């Protein structure tokens, strides 16, 4: 292929042969691997946003862009100018370590999110080197031969080679929401985009049929690429949680300014060295403003996404990870999510009685029984006709390969084909004598499907669909060897038969046919009803316990199905979704006029657990009702029509195996195994992640507050500094980072799914947490000052000695390390809880302890930090005092657990009530 990106081709005006010649590809062979590599290089990947990845140098530079870091650098320079080289080197070392940690964290978050995006990328079917394979859509190149079917997204701009009953939704490009038909014939050169019937454009999707086409442009060269070039600048959105963390940081700034001023002024008034005091104020600023919180939160969220992916739930955006944790209502479809979607025809209900079919699943040797008598061959003409319609009116296929059965298509249609084989009917043979002339695809709003078959110059129309739809369209019914008019009372009788089958848990379809002269005759008029067919679709085994667990976790599970009310009720009862076998089932049509609903009706719908005969619009209204009632709604879906509901729900859940690409693209979460249980695990993970973020935020903030208070209290008492500026920096940059990261990796506490969902409006730091923050901050700083005073008495020279300051520094450092155990949930045990069982926490404590010993005993570091060895009695003071906050913290947690007060004692509640 010789064209370059600026080539002005109009592939729609050329014949297929010309287009293929121009694209330099053979339709049957596709491109060779070398050619693909070459073209990838020439045209770039098939991606709209030309990898606007942030370069690592930009990420690195970002680490040093903060005002406080700048201040610190100035302080380092000042120290250097004043001749204090050790201090200057130490400050720059701290700056470097701080930058390195921030850089590594951010790069890890970025690469983690990027590789997640790769596994959720849409795939597409292509023909290359003569064979069909599936490749990531991003790897397509011009000239690739692509094969698409209903529900697939169009992955690039394509020229159609061979369409088959193809219809395409182009609303994303043209705004026109009615699907359009397509051809392969060449068109005039100047037809506008919306009328180019032999082209398929990226961003649109196939609603019906299938197509083979050749790629003419990819990525930014596509029409969508031209449009979206202007949108490319759109900033990466922050998740609500990241925003909240940013705000939290902002809120602390005024508080910090006040404290820093007090410290600075009081120190200066007492004649302390001004440079030392300024340096202390800068160190405190670094300590207090939690600039790193949002990025650590990102890392925790990304880690959560990976853990969810391990459990088969692919979450497509970080914000959903958070939302998942507060899900209150799960609206789930039935077929395939609650049931196995492995259907078997169990019985035919015909005018002359019930015919049972034996053999389950894909077994092809079953028998037909009537009144407990085995029928040798279902010779009965009505049975034959019913089987025939089931075999003709289908998109599925069943092939036998050396006694292996291979199937494709809707499992219900497969079941009808298998029933046909049991009765000696083979679809291909049947089609030889009556070839298919037209198909009217299944439409969920009509709930029927029809095919036209040519026979002796006329056409047989085979129809199947929901019983009420088919019975309503039928004017006659097949009885023993005859055709009789269908009266209203007959209709009622047939509907009742269908209801009875559904109440038994069968999925029911009605079968009908008619003879017409032309394929233009509408399909659903004057039908002759043949009978009903009932399918068994067993509930998934694991669903029952999972629904129970969801309910224990305070989430409501609501069944929203397109199926019959009876079937829905039966399955809902058998999977434990409702207690009673005759629970009220709401039919979708009751939701048809959402504006006119009374309050009583609204309440009834919001509290209902089973919805049947629901169409995609009803799903949207149901989401609205629940959301207005304050719920966070997860909704499952798989079809093209479900996409709007998936977008609208707080968490749209698409099925990875059964779902169409359109549904998957609209969804926030894709279940790789189509398993309802994966939603539960994802919610659990979502809750754990939020709690972990809360843990490390509370932990880091209380550590930082303790440093601030220690300095403030000392200043107010007229003491010298119990912590030197470099020591403060050291604590923040080196020691308390590790336990904080480790907290982000805790498993959820045992009872995390025994509690109701979190209110999504609930802030990360509730009033209770602010109260705890104050208490912990005070406890740790008080122990530090206590240790300082004791040390002051121990050494000749008092508080000013290097020993005393070393002791207060170490007391604070270790108190912070032990404090990690105060982060356990109130409901967890003292010894065995999610913090003590987290090996990362122990690793972090080990590492930080080693570093602290190094800070005292390694000459270079102790010189910079102005520490000194303190002897056994010194260490006794350090450990004694540093364990105090842990002891008090644990007592407080135990008190709250015993007396079941999840909040603080009343006096503290009062004190914190003015906080946000
Ligand atoms: P769920 O929403 O739980 O997946 P469903 O598959 O029954 O249930 P829809 O796909 O909306 O929901 O189908 C609605 C009804 O239309 C079905 O209950 C069935 O009666 C009928 N139906 C479904 N698929 C076909 C088909 N391929 N041909 C004819 N009728 C169909």
pLDDT digits (tens, 9 = 90+) for 164-209: 878 888 877 776 767 888 888 888 888 888 888 899 998 888 888 8
**Cα 444 to ligand 1 centre (Å):** 7
Comparing 20-29, 245-254, 454-463, 817-826, which segment has the lowest mean pLDDT? 245-254
* Boundary residue ending a domain (203, 227, 249): 203
Closest to 563 (Cα-Cα) out of 611, 608, 600: 611
Residues 332-357 have a mean pLDDT of 90
Residue 249 domain-assigned (yes or no): no
| 643 and 694 both lie in a single domain | no
- pLDDT for the residue 231: 44
Beta bridge partners of 358: none
Residue 275 domain-assigned (yes or no): no
Ligand 1 pocket residue status of 562, Cβ below 6 Å: yes
Confidence label for 336 from pLDDT (cuts 50, 70 and 90): confident
Consecutive H or E run containing 148:
strand 145-149
What is the atom index within ligand 1 of the atom nearest the CA of 615? Answer: 11
Confidence label for 654 from pLDDT (cuts 50, 70 and 90): very high
CATH of the domain at 172: 2.70.150.10
| 845 and 878 both lie in a single domain | yes
Confidence label for 53 from pLDDT (cuts 50, 70 and 90): low
**Cα 510 to ligand 1 centre (Å):** 12
| 502 and 454 both lie in a single domain | yes
- Is the pLDDT confidence value at 423 over 90? no
Residues 348-367 have a mean pLDDT of 85
Residues 604-617 have a mean pLDDT of 91
Query: Rg (Cα) of the chain, in Å, rounded?
Result: 35
- Is the pLDDT confidence value at 120 over 80? no
Ligand 1 pocket residue status of 659, Cβ below 6 Å: no
Mean pLDDT score across all residues of the chain:
86
Cα–Cα distance between 568 and 575 in angstroms, integer? 11
Residue by residue, what is the 3-state secondary structure of 160-172? Answer: EEEEEEEEEECHH
Beta strands in 719-772, from DSSP E residues, in sequence order: none
Structural domain total, the chain: 4
Residue 199 domain-assigned (yes or no): yes
- Is the pLDDT confidence value at 620 over 80? yes
Q: ∠ at Cα 671 (665, 673), nearest 5°?
A: 130
| 690 and 738 both lie in a single domain | yes
- pLDDT for the residue 51: 45
| 687 and 645 both lie in a single domain | no
- pLDDT for the residue 432: 92
Residue 523 domain-assigned (yes or no): yes
- pLDDT for the residue 472: 94
Ligand 1 pocket residue status of 561, Cβ below 6 Å: yes
pLDDT digits (tens, 9 = 90+) for 768-805: 888 899 999 999 999 999 999 998 887 766 777 889 99
Residue 579 domain-assigned (yes or no): yes
- Is the pLDDT confidence value at 814 over 90? yes
Residue 61 domain-assigned (yes or no): no
**Cα 55 to ligand 1 centre (Å):** 50
pTM: 0.82
Ligand 1 pocket residue status of 638, Cβ below 6 Å: no
Residue % of the chain over a pLDDT of 90? 40
| 349 and 332 both lie in a single domain | no
Residue nearest to atom 1 of ligand 1 (CA): 561
Ligand 1 pocket residue status of 641, Cβ below 6 Å: no
Ligand 1 pocket residue status of 316, Cβ below 6 Å: no
- pLDDT for the residue 210: 85
| 639 and 609 both lie in a single domain | yes
CATH of the domain at 619: 3.40.50.1000
Helix (H, G, I), strand (E, B) or coil at 135: strand
More confident residue, 905 or 339: 339
- pLDDT for the residue 291: 66
**Cα 509 to ligand 1 centre (Å):** 9
Tokens (6 digits) for 609: 């657990």
pLDDT digits (tens, 9 = 90+) for 218-247: 988 888 777 765 444 434 456 777 778 878
More confident residue, 876 or 176: 876
| 374 and 518 both lie in a single domain | yes
pLDDT digits (tens, 9 = 90+) for 883-906: 999 999 999 888 888 876 555 556
Residue nearest to atom 14 of ligand 1 (CA): 562
Residue nearest to atom 7 of ligand 1 (CA): 563
| 433 and 455 both lie in a single domain | yes
CATH of the domain at 721: 1.20.1110.10
- Is the pLDDT confidence value at 643 over 60? yes
**Cα 478 to ligand 1 centre (Å):** 24
**Cβ–Cβ under 8 Å, residues 444 and 615:** yes
Residues 704-731 have a mean pLDDT of 89
**Cβ–Cβ under 8 Å, residues 294 and 245:** yes
- Sorted by sequence, the CB contacts under 8 Å of residue 147 that are 6+ apart come out as 125, 126, 127, 132, 210, 211, 212
Residue 597 domain-assigned (yes or no): yes
| 367 and 499 both lie in a single domain | yes
Confidence label for 914 from pLDDT (cuts 50, 70 and 90): low
- pLDDT for the residue 235: 40
- Is the pLDDT confidence value at 842 over 80? yes
Ligand 1 pocket residue status of 393, Cβ below 6 Å: no
| 454 and 602 both lie in a single domain | no
What is the atom index within ligand 1 of the atom nearest the CA of 467? Answer: 20
Residue nearest to atom 11 of ligand 1 (CA): 562
Q: What's the Cα-to-Cα distance from 308 to each of 304, 671, 672, 742, 895, rounded to whole Å? A: 6, 10, 11, 19, 35
Ligand 1 pocket residue status of 449, Cβ below 6 Å: yes
* Boundary residue ending a domain (674, 691, 709): 674
Upper half-sphere CA count for residue 836 (Cβ side, 13 Å): 10
**Cα 768 to ligand 1 centre (Å):** 50
**Cβ–Cβ under 8 Å, residues 719 and 270:** no
**Cα 360 to ligand 1 centre (Å):** 21
Helix (H, G, I), strand (E, B) or coil at 775: helix
State the sign of the Cα–Cα–Cα–Cα dihedral 525, 531, 537, 538. Answer: positive
Domain extent at residue 165 = 3-51+120-203
What is the atom index within ligand 1 of the atom nearest the CA of 447? Answer: 16
- Is the pLDDT confidence value at 50 over 60? no
Residues 848-861 have a mean pLDDT of 92
Residue nearest to atom 10 of ligand 1 (CA): 562
**Cα 235 to ligand 1 centre (Å):** 41
pLDDT digits (tens, 9 = 90+) for 59-75: 888 888 777 778 788 88
Ligand 1 pocket residue status of 444, Cβ below 6 Å: yes
Cα–Cα distance between 698 and 678 in angstroms, integer? 30
Q: Which of 447, 533, 565, 612 to mutate to test the pocket of ligand 1 (most atoms within 8 A of CB)?
A: 447
pLDDT digits (tens, 9 = 90+) for 287-298: 777 666 777 788
Residue 250 domain-assigned (yes or no): no
Confidence label for 575 from pLDDT (cuts 50, 70 and 90): very high
- pLDDT for the residue 213: 94
- pLDDT for the residue 5: 42
What is the atom index within ligand 1 of the atom nearest the CA of 466? Answer: 20
Residues 153-168 have a mean pLDDT of 89
**Cα 447 to ligand 1 centre (Å):** 7
Residues 639-647 have a mean pLDDT of 85
Q: What's the Cα-to-Cα distance from 584 to each of 497, 560, 565, 587, 610, rounded to whole Å? A: 20, 13, 9, 10, 7
Ligand 1 pocket residue status of 465, Cβ below 6 Å: yes
**Cα 335 to ligand 1 centre (Å):** 9
Query: Hey, which residues are catalytic here?
Result: 333
- pLDDT for the residue 735: 74
Residue % of the chain over a pLDDT of 70? 94
Closest to 567 (Cα-Cα) out of 346, 772, 726, 744: 346
Closest to 865 (Cα-Cα) out of 729, 735, 705: 729
What is the atom index within ligand 1 of the atom nearest the CA of 333? Answer: 3
- pLDDT for the residue 729: 86
CATH of the domain at 506: 3.40.1110.10
- pLDDT for the residue 234: 38
* Boundary residue ending a domain (674, 707, 740): 674
- pLDDT for the residue 551: 93
Ligand 1 pocket residue status of 447, Cβ below 6 Å: yes
Residue nearest to atom 8 of ligand 1 (CA): 562
Ligand 1 pocket residue status of 464, Cβ below 6 Å: yes
What is the atom index within ligand 1 of the atom nearest the CA of 469? Answer: 20
Ligand 1 pocket residue status of 333, Cβ below 6 Å: yes
Beta bridge partners of 465: 448, 510
More confident residue, 760 or 73: 73
Cα–Cα distance between 659 and 672 in angstroms, integer? 10
| 416 and 329 both lie in a single domain | no
What is the atom index within ligand 1 of the atom nearest the CA of 413? Answer: 27
- pLDDT for the residue 751: 85
């Amino acid at each position: 292929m010789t064209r370059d990106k600026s080539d002005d081709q109009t592939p729609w005006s050329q014949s297929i042969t010309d287009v293929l010649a121009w694209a330099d590809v053979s339709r049957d062979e596709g491109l060779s691997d070398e050619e693909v590599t070459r073209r990838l290089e020439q045209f770039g990947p098939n991606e709209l946003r030309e990898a606007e990845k942030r370069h690592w140098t930009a990420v690195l530079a970002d680490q040093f862009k903060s005002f406080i870091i700048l201040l610190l650098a100035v302080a380092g320079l000042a120290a250097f100018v004043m001749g204090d080289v050790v201090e200057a080197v130490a400050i720059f070392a701290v700056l470097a370590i701080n930058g390195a940690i921030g850089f590594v964290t951010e790069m890890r978050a970025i690469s983690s999110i990027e590789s997640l995006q790769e596994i959720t990328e849409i795939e597409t079917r292509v023909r290359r080197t003569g064979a069909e394979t599936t490749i990531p859509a991003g790897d397509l190149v011009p000239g690739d031969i692509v094969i698409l079917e209903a529900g697939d997204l169009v992955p690039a701009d394509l020229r159609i080679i061979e369409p088959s009953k193809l219809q395409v939704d182009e609303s994303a490009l043209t705004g026109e929401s009615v699907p359009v038909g397509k051809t392969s014939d060449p068109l005039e050169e100047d037809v506008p985009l919306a009328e180019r019937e032999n082209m398929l454009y990226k961003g649109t999707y196939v609603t019906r049929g299938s197509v083979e086409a050749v790629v003419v442009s990819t990525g930014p060269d596509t029409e969508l690429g031209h449009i979206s070039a202007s949108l490319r600048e759109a900033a990466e959105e922050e998740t609500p949680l990241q925003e909240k963390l940013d705000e939290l940081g902002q809120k602390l700034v005024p508080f910090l300014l006040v404290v820093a001023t007090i410290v600075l002024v009081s120190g200066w008034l007492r004649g302390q060295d001004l440079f030392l005091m300024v340096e202390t104020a800068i160190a405190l600023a670094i300590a207090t403003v939690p600039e790193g919180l949002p990025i650590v939160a990102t890392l925790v969220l990304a880690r959560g996404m990976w853990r969810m992916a391990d459990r088969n739930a692919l979450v497509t955006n970080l914000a959903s990870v958070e939302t998942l944790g507060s899900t209150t209502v799960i609206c789930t479809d039935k077929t395939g999510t609650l049931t196995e979607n492995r259907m078997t025809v169990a019985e035919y209900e015909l005018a002359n009685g019930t015919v049972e079919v034996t053999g389950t699943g894909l077994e092809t040797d079953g028998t037909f029984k009537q009144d407990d008598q085995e029928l040798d061959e279902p010779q009965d003409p009505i049975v034959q006709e019913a089987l025939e319609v089931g075999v003709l009116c289908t998109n599925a296929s069943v092939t036998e390969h050396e006694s292996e059965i291979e199937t494709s298509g809707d499992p219900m249609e497969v079941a009808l084909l298998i029933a046909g084989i049991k009765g000696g009917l083979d679809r291909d043979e049947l089609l030889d004598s009556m070839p298919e002339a037209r198909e009217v695809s299944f439409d969920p709003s009509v709930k029927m499907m029809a095919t036209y078959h040519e026979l002796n110059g006329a056409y047989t129309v085979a129809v199947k669909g929901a019983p009420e739809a088919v019975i309503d369209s039928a004017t006659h019914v097949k009885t023993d060897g005859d055709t009789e008019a269908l009266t209203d009372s007959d209709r009622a009788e047939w509907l009742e038969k269908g209801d009875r089958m559904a109440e038994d848990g069968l999925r029911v379809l009605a079968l009908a046919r008619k003879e017409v002269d032309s394929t233009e005759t509408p399909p659903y008029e004057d039908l002759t009803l043949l009978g009903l067919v009932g399918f068994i679709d067993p509930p998934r085994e694991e669903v029952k316990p999972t629904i129970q667990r969801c309910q224990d976790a305070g989430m409501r599970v609501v069944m929203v199905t397109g199926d019959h009310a009876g079937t829905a009720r039966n399955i809902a009862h058998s999977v434990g979704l409702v207690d009673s076998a005759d629970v009220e089932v709401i039919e979708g049509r009751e939701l048809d006029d959402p504006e006119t609903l009374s309050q009583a009706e609204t309440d009834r719908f919001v509290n209902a657990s089973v919805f049947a005969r629901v169409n995609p619009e009803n799903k949207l209204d149901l989401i609205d009702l629940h959301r207005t009632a304050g719920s966070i709604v997860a909704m499952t879906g798989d079809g093209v029509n479900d996409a709007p509901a998936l977008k609208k729900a707080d968490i749209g859940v698409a099925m990875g195996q059964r779902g169409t690409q359109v549904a998957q693209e609209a969804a926030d979460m894709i279940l790789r195994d189509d398993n309802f249980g994966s939603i539960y695990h994802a919610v659990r993970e979502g809750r754990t992640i939020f709690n972990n973020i809360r843990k490390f935020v509370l932990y880091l903030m209380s550590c930082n507050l303790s440093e601030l208070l220690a300095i403030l209290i000392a200043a107010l008492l007229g003491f010298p500094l119990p912590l030197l500026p470099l020591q403060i920096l050291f604590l923040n940059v080196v020691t308390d980072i590790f336990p904080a990261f480790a907290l982000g990796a805790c498993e959820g506490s045992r009872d995390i799914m025994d509690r109701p969902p979190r209110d999504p409006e609930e802030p990360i730091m509730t009033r209770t947490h602010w109260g705890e923050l104050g208490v912990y901050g005070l406890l740790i700083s008080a122990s530090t000052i206590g240790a300082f005073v004791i040390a002051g008495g121990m050494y000749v020279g008092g508080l000013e000695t290097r020993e005393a300051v070393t002791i207060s520094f170490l007391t604070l450092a270790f108190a912070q390390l032990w404090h990690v155990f105060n982060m356990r949930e109130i409901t967890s045990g003292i010894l065995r809880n999610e913090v003590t069982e987290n090996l990362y926490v122990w690793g972090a404590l080990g590492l930080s302890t080693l570093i602290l010993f190094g800070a005292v005993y390694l000459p270079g570091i102790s010189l910079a930090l102005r520490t000194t060895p303190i002897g056994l009695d010194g260490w006794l003071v350090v450990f004694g005092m540093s364990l105090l906050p842990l002891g008090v913290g644990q007592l407080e947690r135990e008190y709250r657990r015993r007396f079941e007060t999840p909040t603080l004692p009343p006096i503290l509640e009062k004190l914190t009530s003015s906080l946000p």
